[in-house]
Amino acid sequence: MKREYDFSNSVPNPYLSKDKKQITIRLDAGTIDYFKQLAGETGIPYQNLINLYLRDCAAQKKKPKMSWMA
């Protein structure tokens, strides 16, 4: 890094407290397509939409409908 950069007056990132954790998750192609279409309509990236939806589910303590295919 160049010596002329002076970060002594910098402030901490205010968004750092809202940290996110990167994970790998497998989703159905149809689910991804749905959120990508919604992203095109809203202008919000599809990964953010998925995160918003999951956050809303967690806040409302929604439980998934579980049905197993025989």
All residues at 6 or more sequence positions from 49 whose CB lies less than 8 Å from its CB, including other chains: 35, 38, 39, 42
Domain residues of the chain, as ranges? 26-59
- Tokens standing for 57? 């589910």
Give pLDDT tens digits along the chain (70 positions).
Answer: 567 888 888 888 777 767 788 899 999 999 999 999 999 999 999 999 999 999 999 999 999 888 877 6
The values of phi and psi at residue 25, to 5°, are -140, 140
